[in-house]
Amino acid sequence: MSGQVLPRPAMSGADRRPISLHVGVLALLFGLQFVLPAYDHTNMARIMILASYAMGYNLLLGYTGLMSLGHAMFFAAGLYGAGLAAYYLGFDPLSAFLAGTIAGVGLSVAVGLVALRTGGVSFMIVTLMFAQACFLLTLYFNEITQGDQGIVLDLSAWSWDLGGEEGPLGLISPPIRYNLALLLFTLCLLAIFFLMRSRIGRVLIAIRENEPRVTMLGYHSFRYKLGALTLSGTMSAAAGATYALLFSYVGSTFAGIQYSILPLLWVLLGGQGTILGPLLGTALMFYLVDISSEYTSSYMLIVGVALVLLVLWFPKGILGSLRQRWLPWLP
Amino acid sequence: MAAVTASEGALLATRGLSRRFGGLRAVDGVDLTVARGEIRAVIGPNGAGKTTLVSMICGRIPVSAGEIRFEGEDITALRPWSRVERGIAYTFQITSIFQNLTCFDNVALAAQRGLPCRGGDAELARKVERTLARVGLEGRGSALASTLPYGHQRLLELAIGLALEPKLLILDEPTQGLSEEEIVGFCALVREIATEATVLLIEHNMPVVMDLAHLVTVMDNGRILAEGTPEEIRANPEVQRAYLGT
């Protein structure tokens, strides 16, 4: 992905605009829950979790310049790590979340140590193969995972009395679900935001731009790429774990190729190498599919056409194009 | 004095350094010794092996045979980043700056190494500004590197090298593509750099070499043809035949 013009604002330390914008977006997301109708309320919770997954993906593609075609394995590691721990071992939601996230750390380090010995197209192929292997494992261990059919989790035992009129709120009650999804999204957003302002972020972007030069500046680029892949995989796994717990379902669909391609599309749509691009891309695509499927069963065709148009006129994604033309300070 | 530095206190010493590309001996048994504080020029016709030689010294390409010692330590097997840590910086022949990053970020990438992580940002900003000013790019920190004119991009490349605070700065054809005026400023800058660092200079521009270098090494066909002061090299009939073409 190197060679693409993805400018980065200079010394944004003194500029308050990026911080204001991101705090504003988080406040907007918080406020939305009080006005959204029930259907969109659930959708938004789902979008925020998937956008966290996309942000993890964007860390690798947009900022480090590594295109993975196998991120579904990390999402699925979190999903199964949390779901199976809750289903078979009776983990409480927080422990199950941690189990899923730790599974993601382990898998991304292991995959990174092998896959990062390659680059470019080879990296895409190797990650794709790893992900297919993981997908097949979820089918192979059918007795545990129930394969395609999946497992529905019963987490109704976990509820909290927040003093509301409707009594204790369950884990999957809309307010809890929405705000936990928002919490995940906020943590991921802040992590990326501060990482990209740090010196490590500067090195990652430099690796995207010109890796051989970075090694000649005294950086062991492999370590930085492994770190980026691990954080990316961990974020994806955290999103997967949250998804399993808040939507009470784990199934092998989430390990399939489609869930490796989706974050790529979300990020390309919203703008790779921008912090809010993944959220924008995920939300737009989600509603594009949602609305077009009301009219036709071949809704993926409409999505495809929309993406082709987008790539033709906004090759850097929506926020990438905005940044290039009008908002150079956008991180 | 010269004899002592050559054997004991040499900053850089190569022994029998060779590099083969298939059947081609690009560099063939080079013994090169550079003393601390020296400005050493390496000259030679195209294909003489100059860039291959310095690429082995900075670790961009592995050696086929021989060894490299830096401050007495054998660095032959070290990877490039470890050599940078020991104080070797290389500026590229073909400008290899980060085109899509600002000048600030370009220099900060090199300058941030070794600065404390906490509270070091102000110090980093000062160091970057200082380095940019040193090469004459003060106030250009927020400009995208790709928007700079070519001569300034070369200066930015040099600033990146300086920000690494090297003991040995390798400049690979630094004046290529610069105007006469820029070359004059560049020579003054290299002389100033040489008060702190040792400079290994690959250069085609003879007036620059004769002006700057303390010692000149002439390469031809991967071997060292001659070595001496600029005056000696100018007077050397072998060099004239092989290279100066007179």
Is B98's CB within 8 Å of A202's CB?
A: no
Q: What is the Cα–Cα distance from A205 to B109, expressed in whole angstroms?
A: 10
Q: What is the pLDDT of residues B180-216, one digit of tens each?
A: 888 888 899 999 899 989 999 998 888 899 889 999 9
Please state, in angstroms and as integers, the Cα–Cα distance from residue A21 to each residue in A187, A217, A275, B203, following that order.
16, 33, 11, 50
Neighbouring-strand partners of residue B182:
none
**Nearest-neighbour CA in chain B from A257: distance (Å):** 33
Cα gap B186→B36, rounded to integer Å: 21
A299 located within any domain: no
Would you say residue A20 lies in a domain? Answer: no
Residues 97-126 of B with CB under 8 A from A: 97-102, 104-105, 108-110, 112-113, 117, 121, 124-125
Q: Residue A118's closest CA among A185, A75, A66, A77?
A: A66
Eight-class DSSP state of B243 = I
In this complex, the residue of A11, A206, A220 whose CB is nearest that of residue B125 is: A11
The answer to whether residue A327 is domain-embedded is: no
Q: Specify the pLDDT at position A14.
A: 60
Average pLDDT for chain A = 88
Task: Please report the pLDDT score of residue A280 as a whole number.
Answer: 94
* The residue type at A27: A
Can you read off the two tokens belonging to residue A297? 């069963």
pLDDT at B47: 85
Q: Residue A303 domain-assigned?
A: no
pLDDT greater at residue A83 or residue A294: A83
Three-state DSSP at B200 gives: strand
Q: The CATH number of the domain where A222 resides is what?
A: 1.10.3470.10
**For residue B6, what pLDDT band results from cuts at 50, 70 and 90?**
very low
Q: How many whole angstroms separate alpha carbon B159 and alpha carbon B155?
A: 6
pLDDT above 70 for B93: yes
Can you read off the two tokens belonging to residue A185? 């999204």
Q: In this structure, is residue A263 part of a structural domain?
A: no
In a domain, A44, yes or no: yes
Position A7 pLDDT exceeds 50: no
What does the pLDDT read at residue A173?
84
Are the CB atoms for B156 and B103 separated by under 8 Å?
Answer: yes
Amino acid at B124: L
Region B50-59 average pLDDT: 92
Distance CA A115, CA A108 (A): 10
Of the candidates B91, B224, B223, B54, the one whose C-alpha atom is nearest the C-alpha of residue B215 is B224
* Cβ separation B96–A202 shorter than 8 A: no
Residues of A in contact with B60 (CB under 8 A): 212, 216
pLDDT at B117: 66
Q: What is the pLDDT of residues A178-195, one digit of tens each?
A: 999 999 999 999 999 999
d(CA A10, CA A14): 10
B133-179 pLDDT tens trace: 988 888 888 888 999 988 889 889 999 999 999 999 999 988 888 88
Give A94-127 pLDDT, tens digit per residue: 999 999 999 999 999 999 999 999 988 999 999 9
Chain A: nearest CA to B144, how far in angstroms?
8
Residues in chain A, overall count: 331
pLDDT (tens digit, 9 = 90+) per residue, A250-279? 999 999 998 999 999 999 999 999 999 999
pLDDT of residue A85: 93
For residues B246 and B237, give the distance between their C-alpha atoms in angstroms, rounded to a whole number.
9
Contacts of A202 in chain B (CB under 8 A): 105, 108-109, 112
Locate the chain B residue with the closest alpha carbon to A4: B100
Domain count, chain A: 1
The band of B238, judged by pLDDT with boundaries at 50, 70 and 90, is confident
pLDDT tier at B8, thresholds 50, 70, 90: low
Averaged pLDDT, B72-88: 92
Q: Which domain holds residue A226?
A: 32-255
Residue A287 within any structural domain of the chain: no
Residues of chain A contacting residue B113, judged by C-beta atoms under 8 Å apart = 217-219
Query: Which residues lie across from B69 on neighbouring strands?
Result: B13, B74
Inter-residue contact A96 to A82 (CB < 8 Å): yes
Which residue among A202, A205, A216 places its CB closest to the CB of B60?
A216
Are the Cβ atoms of A215 and B58 closer than 8 angstroms?
A: no
Question: Three-class SS string for B55-67?
Answer: HHHHCCCCCCEEE
Which candidate, A102, A58, A65, A55, places its Cα nearest to that of A81?
A102
**pLDDT tens-digit map of A33-79:** 899 898 999 999 999 999 999 999 999 999 999 999 999 999 999 99
Window from A152-166, A189-203, B36-50, B144-158 with minimum mean pLDDT? A152-166
Chain B residue with the nearest C-alpha to that of A205: B101
Q: Residue A18 falls within a domain, yes or no?
A: no
